[in-house]
């Protein structure tokens, strides 16, 4: 869907800055098919002109012309404080292709770059490319990554690095920050245009209802509640849940200092710039709720078109209270499935919470432990379960396994069928930081083979893939504390 709002107060025409001597680093054939690209035998675009387009060096290829590339303005709250006007500082929306938006990240300065150079570096671009596609394979709503193009152009961050451009695809890149921007300017006309655009294209069920703007808020809030529940279920930490990084479609966007949990720490902080732990793993639901409160405040003028100020506030306040209920319901549903429980019982939540506390106390590997649970059978003996050896408090975990086996015995499903279902929701492979780091270090030496290997493994995260079994292992001690920051 093209971003159809126009005007200097909304966006600026922004031609990409050419990238010297570009070359392919990575490419996603499945995303290419989404947008209708014809591929050659090497799973790269058949028309070599696409390399130049995705590097930002030209705006046409074959019959496709991107005649009006833009960057958009938005505002937002960063680390809990109002940051004022922000915008696409290094993202350029090329245009619409096959009803999807194609955006280049790292293609040079925009009107909103402020003091930045508008470039992205190879290191962070590899992480974004791999994680976008890994999250999609995990079944989690996300922007997609079409390609990663590199160059020897130097870019200064903490050290000198090389530039890269990651091409991203999504139905829309509209953010909560777009609403906040126009609300901060008291521009109700633009607010209404933005909300109508979203409803017409993505939330048509809201447009036909009474109080359509209230219904739109509820739907955006519900999507993001379910999204963060999905993150928690796979141990994903976003790292920078600022309101301007939150999608109005409930997609995972803006992969910066993200990280998947290795050993389980409920208060894990993946971004070493997050000194106060605002965006720690266990706080993500609370912060997403807070971001929905920012959206509610921004959408208040729309409700006031039909209601009094007092009634509008009460309607939004009541709608906002639905977020934790939606989140809790989705979280409980997902974790039941991770335990192989098809039915619902009152004690299930306590069973889940007891397990997570024990995993936290013993720093058990999150992904591998849940994957291994499918091997437990209804007639298993707690003292013979090998996973008990991963826990410090054996008495406590033995009691948990006893209660868990008793709970499994109340299920009608067979052990084999349950194992199959559990292995469809508990991945074997995630993008662990140490794996990404190895791929990055090789890529910085012009060896992109590990990027390609990881891409292929992570595209099938629930499969056993015995050839790549080592990629499912936790990091060695010297690789456990790889620091990831906002620098990219």
273-322: pLDDT as tens digits = 898 999 999 999 999 999 999 999 999 999 999 999 999 999 999 999 99
Q: Give the distance, in angstroms, between the CA of residue 153 and the centroid of all CA atoms in the same chain.
A: 28
In this structure, the answer to whether residues 125 and 271 fall within a common structural domain is no
Query: Distance between CA 16 and CA 52 in Å, rounded?
Result: 11
Q: What is residue 481's predicted lDDT score, i.e. its pLDDT? A: 67
Among the candidates 422, 451, 473, a domain finishes at: 422
In a shared domain, residues 195 and 278: yes
Whether residue 441 is contained in a domain is answered as no
Using the predicted structure, report yes or no on whether residue 268 has a pLDDT greater than 70.
yes
User: 103 and 37 in one domain?
Assistant: yes
Residue 103 vs residues 10, 61, 110, 250, 287: alpha-carbon distances, Å: 17, 16, 13, 18, 27
pLDDT for the residue 240: 96
Our answer to whether residue 403 is catalytic in this structure is no
pTM (2 d.p.): 0.96
Let me know whether 73 and 159 are in one domain: yes
Give me the percent of the chain exceeding a pLDDT of 90: 93
Residue 6 confidence (pLDDT): 86
Would you place residue 4 in the very low, low, confident or very high pLDDT band (cuts 50, 70, 90)? confident
pLDDT value of residue 446: 97
Within 87-246, residue ranges assigned H as helices are 122-137, 176-184, 188-201, 204-207, 212-234
pLDDT exceeds 60 at position 1 = no
Same domain, yes or no: 112 and 159: yes
Q: Per-residue b/e over 451-462, b at no fewer than 16 CB within 10 Å?
A: bebbbebbbebb
- Residue tagged active-site, from 9, 196, 211, 244: 244
> What is the C-alpha to C-alpha distance for residues 223 and 219, in angstroms, rounded to an integer?
6
* pLDDT per position as a tens digit, 402-441: 999 999 999 999 999 999 999 999 999 999 999 999 999 9
Query: Does residue 343 share a domain with residue 297?
Result: no
> How confident is residue 115, by pLDDT bands cut at 50, 70 and 90?
confident
The CA distance from 416 to 158, in Å, is 51
Asked, for residue 357, whether it belongs to a domain, the answer is: yes
- Structural domain containing residue 379: 333-422
What would the mean pLDDT of 380-409 be, rounded to a whole number? 96
Structure tokens at 1: 């869907």
Domain boundary among 392, 422, 452: 422
* Number of independent structural domains in the chain: 3
Mean of pLDDT values over 40-50 = 95
Taking the C-alpha atoms of residue 310 and residue 298, their distance in angstroms, rounded to an integer, is 15
Structure tokens at 280: 């720690």
Of 369, 397, 422, the one marking the end of a domain is 422
Listed in sequence order, the residues at least 6 apart from 342 whose beta carbon sits closer than 8 Å to its beta carbon are 336, 411, 412, 413, 418, 421
Rounded to the nearest integer, the mean pLDDT of the chain is: 95
Q: How many CA atoms lie within 13 A of 439 on its CB side?
A: 29
Read off the pLDDT band of 5 (50, 70, 90): confident
Q: Is residue 156 part of a domain?
A: yes
What is the mean predicted confidence (pLDDT) over 95-99?
94
> pLDDT by residue (tens digit) across 220-263?
999 999 999 999 999 999 999 999 999 999 999 999 999 999 99
């Amino acid at each position: 869907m093209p971003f159809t709002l126009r005007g200097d107060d909304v966006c600026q025409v922004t031609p990409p800055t050419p990238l010297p001597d570009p070359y392919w680093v990575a490419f996603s054939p499945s995303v290419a098919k989404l947008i209708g690209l014809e591929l050659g035998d090497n799973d790269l675009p058949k028309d070599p002109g696409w390399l130049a387009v995705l590097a930002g060096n030209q705006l046409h290829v074959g019959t496709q012309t991107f005649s009006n590339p833009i960057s958009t303005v938005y505002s937002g709250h960063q680390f809990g404080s109002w940051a004022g006007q922000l915008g696409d500082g290094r993202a350029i929306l090329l245009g619409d292709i096959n009803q999807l938006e194609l955006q280049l990240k790292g293609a040079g300065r925009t009107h909103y770059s402020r003091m930045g150079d508008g470039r992205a570096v190879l290191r962070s671009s590899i992480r974004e490319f791999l994680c976008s596609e890994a999250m999609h394979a995990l079944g989690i709503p996300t922007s997609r990554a079409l390609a990663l193009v590199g160059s020897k152009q130097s870019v200064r961050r903490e050290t000198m690095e090389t530039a890269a451009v990651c091409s991203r695809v999504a139905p829309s890149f509209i953010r909560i920050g777009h609403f906040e921007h126009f609300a901060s300017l008291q521009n109700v006309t633009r607010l209404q245009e933005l909300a109508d655009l979203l409803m017409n294209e993505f939330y048509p069920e809201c447009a036909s209802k009474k109080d359509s703007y209230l219904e739109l808020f509820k739907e955006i809030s519900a999507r993001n509640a379910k999204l963060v529940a999905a993150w928690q279920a796979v141990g994903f930490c976003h790292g920078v849940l600022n309101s301007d990084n939150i999608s109005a479609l409930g997609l995972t966007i803006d992969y910066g200092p993200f990280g998947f949990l290795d050993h389980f720490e409920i208060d894990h902080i993946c971004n070493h710039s997050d000194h106060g732990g605002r965006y720690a793993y266990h706080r993500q639901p609370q912060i997403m709720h807070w971001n929905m409160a920012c959206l509610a405040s921004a959408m208040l003028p729309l409700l006031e078109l039909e209601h009094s100020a007092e009634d509008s506030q009460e309607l939004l306040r009541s709608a906002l209270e639905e977020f934790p209920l939606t989140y809790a319901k989705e979280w409980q549903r997902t974790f039941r499935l991770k335990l192989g429980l098809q039915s619902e019982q009152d004690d299930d939540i306590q069973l889940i919470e007891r397990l997570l506390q024990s995993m936290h106390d013993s720093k058990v590997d999150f992904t591998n432990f849940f994957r291994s649970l499918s091997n437990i059978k209804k007639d298993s003996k707690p003292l013979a379960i090998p996973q008990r050896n991963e826990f410090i408090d054996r008495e406590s975990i033995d009691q948990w396994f006893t209660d868990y086996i008793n709970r499994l015995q109340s299920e009608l499903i067979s052990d084999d069928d349950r194992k199959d279902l559990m292995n469809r929701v508990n991945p074997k492979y995630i993008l662990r930081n140490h794996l990404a780091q190895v791929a990055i270090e090789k890529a910085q030496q012009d060896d992109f083979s590990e990027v390609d290997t990881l891409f292929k493994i992570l595209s099938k995260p629930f499969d056993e893939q015995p050839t790549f079994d080592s990629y499912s292992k936790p990091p060695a001690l010297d690789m456990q504390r790889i620091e990831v920051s906002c620098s990219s």
